[in-house]
Amino acid sequence: MSNFTITVHPIALPKPAAAAALGMSVDNLERYVQADVRCIRGGRMRLFPVSELESWADANAERLLPEGASQS
Inter-helix orientation angle 50-60/15-22, to 10°: 40
Distance CA 27, CA 57 (A): 17
Distance CA 11, CA 52 (A): 10
Mean pLDDT by 10 residues, the chain (72 residues): 88 98 98 97 96 97 80 60
Number of domains forming the structure of the chain: 1
Strand residues in 18-64 grouped as ranges (E): 40-42, 45-49
Q: Looking at residue 38, what is its pLDDT?
A: 97
Q: For residue 4, is it within any domain?
A: no
- The verdict on residue 67 lying in a domain is no
Residue 65 lies in a domain: no
Q: Is 6 inside any structural domain?
A: no
The boundaries of the domain holding residue 53 are: 12-57
Q: Is residue 5 in some structural domain?
A: no
